[in-house]
Structure 1
Amino acid sequence: MKDLKEFNIPFVGLKEGKHEFKYLIDNKFFEAFNFDEYVNSSIEVLLTFVKKSTLFELVFVAEGSVELPCDVTNELFNQEIKSELPLVVNFGPEYNSDNEEILVLPHEAYEMNVAQFIYEMIVLAVPNKRVHPKVLDGTMESEALNKLRELEIKKVKAVETTDPRWDKLKNLITEKKT
């Protein structure tokens, strides 16, 4: 986390009111978290920091893209990132981040590092199943996709056959009604 000092916000020296911080996120940022799933990343994060007398209101807004492999074809593609994370920072006797919407900092704190919040917001903005847009619209041509199509299970029309024991039971129900 040494490399992430630029994400420290010394709030003690800030006046009350609205402040904006802008961060450009690339792969070096993710390397600090030992996260290497993205081949390339270019994300702009705008942090609106509102300082009030007893608390802070933070709103993180991320826009950009990450280049990653498709789960179906392993082809690289750019996944658009658009995410927003509101956070309220309050003060208390000790640090507490149990609630995802409220962070409690100790009274003696004088700065906070927002890198972890930015990291989590971006990683959670990427879908669990990463599918290349050309796979979704059917225009992708790749060896992996052709092999998957070749091995696809074809639907066979099944002739409906019923178990004669069930037929007897069905007859019992219809006989009772009459």
Structure 2
Amino acid sequence: MKALKDYTIPFVGLKEGEHHYDFDINNTFFQNFEYEEFNEVDVKIDLKLIKKTTLLELYFSASGFVNVNCDITNEPYNQSIEDEFKLVVKFGSEYNDDNEDILIVPHGEYEINVAQYIYELIVLAVPAKRIHPGVEDGTLKSDILSKLEELSPKEDSKTKSLEDIDPRWNNLKKLLTDK
């Protein structure tokens, strides 16, 4: 976790007010967390820290893209990322991160590491079902899509004509309507 030292913010020497930090996130960041779902990562994190007398407010803003594989075709594509997160850091007797929006750190702390919050912000910004934009608009041509189309059930089997239906079913339907 030595590589994540860049994401440690010392807040003791800061004056009260607003402070800005920028982070460029790439694949190396996610390798530290042993997370290998992304092919490529290019996300910019803008962190606004507001120091007050009794607490800190952190506003994370993420924008960029992650290259992921489509769940349907397994084709890689760039998924855009736009998300925000607010964290309040309070001071207490012991460390407590049970609440996702509030972090309590001991009174003697002088710095905070934001790497875990950046990691969660990016991972949770990616949709659960990742679909290539070419699949949605029909412009993607791939072997997997053509095979899925070939194996999909035909609509002709659903729209049978009335002559093909067994006449005994029609008699049973009459029982339902004759109440």
Does the alignment reach a TM-score above 0.5? yes
Deviation of 1:107 after TM superposition, in Å, equals 1.2
Letter of the 1:115 counterpart: A
Letter of the 1:30 counterpart: F
The 5-angstrom pairing of residues 93-104 of structure 1 reads 93-104=93-104
- Which string of whole-angstrom CA distances, capped at 9 and with x for unpartnered residues, describes residues 14-35 of structure 1? 1111000000000000000000
Deviation of 1:110 after TM superposition, in Å, equals 1.1
Give the TM-score of the pair, scaled to structure 1: 0.91
* Change in CA separation of 1:162 and 1:124 when aligned onto 2, cut-off 3 Å: farther
Q: Which residue of the partner structure matches residue 28 of structure 2?
A: 28
After TM superposition, the runs of 4+ consecutive aligned structure 1 residues lying more than 4 A away are none
Do structure 1's residue 107 and structure 2's residue 135 form an aligned pair? no
* Change in CA separation of 1:32 and 1:168 when aligned onto 2, cut-off 3 Å: same
Structure 2: segments with no counterpart, 5+ residues: none
Deviation of 1:167 after TM superposition, in Å, equals 4.3
Q: Is the partner of 1:35 in helix, strand or coil?
A: coil
Letter of the 2:88 counterpart: V
- Which string of whole-angstrom CA distances, capped at 9 and with x for unpartnered residues, describes residues 114-170 of structure 1? 000000000000001111111110011000111011111122215574572x74465
Percent identity, please.
50
How many residues align? The count is 171
Q: Which residue of the partner structure matches residue 52 of structure 2?
A: 52
Q: 2: CA distance between counterparts of 1:126 and 1:21? A: 23
Letter of the 1:4 counterpart: L
Letter of the 1:60 counterpart: F
The 5-angstrom pairing of residues 59-98 of structure 1 reads 59-98=59-98
Deviation of 1:87 after TM superposition, in Å, equals 0.9
- Which string of whole-angstrom CA distances, capped at 9 and with x for unpartnered residues, describes residues 28-52 of structure 1? 0000000011111111000000000
Q: Which residue of the partner structure matches residue 145 of structure 1?
A: 145
Q: 2: CA distance between counterparts of 1:48 and 1:123? A: 20
CA-based RMSD of the aligned residues comes to 1.5
Deviation of 1:69 after TM superposition, in Å, equals 0.9
The 5-angstrom pairing of residues 118-157 of structure 1 reads 118-155=118-155, 156=157, 157=159
Structure 1: segments with no counterpart, 5+ residues: 174-178
Give the TM-score of the pair, scaled to structure 2: 0.90
Q: 2: CA distance between counterparts of 1:114 and 1:154? A: 52
Q: Is the partner of 2:12 in helix, strand or coil?
A: helix
Deviates more, 1:98-107 or 1:4-13: 98-107
Q: Which residue of the partner structure matches residue 38 of structure 2?
A: 38
